[in-house]
Amino acid sequence: MQDYQKISEALKKSEGEKAKVRGWIYRTRSSGKLAFVTVRDESGII
């Protein structure tokens, strides 16, 4: 089983630390060749 964290817990980590989250795609946007995804779960948005 995978160890996923809630988004609220992942946001408490220091910059550069890895976090594995899961949730729903809340919003997408693109800029040229790049795409950005906002993910949401019951604890927050990242």
The per-residue pLDDT for range 1-46, each reduced to its tens digit, is 679 999 999 999 999 999 999 999 999 999 999 999 999 999 999 9
Q: How far apart are CA 41 and CA 20, in angstroms?
A: 13
Is 36 domain-assigned?
A: yes
Q: How far apart are CA 35 and CA 8, in angstroms?
A: 23
pLDDT reported for residue 2: 78
Output the CA angle 16-5-38, nearest 5 degrees: 70
Is 31 domain-assigned?
A: yes
pLDDT reported for residue 38: 98
Is 19 domain-assigned?
A: yes
What is the number of structural domains in the chain?
Answer: 1
Is 2 domain-assigned?
A: no
Give the domain extent around 36. Answer: 7-45
pLDDT reported for residue 1: 60
Is 25 domain-assigned?
A: yes
Whole-model pTM: value is 0.77
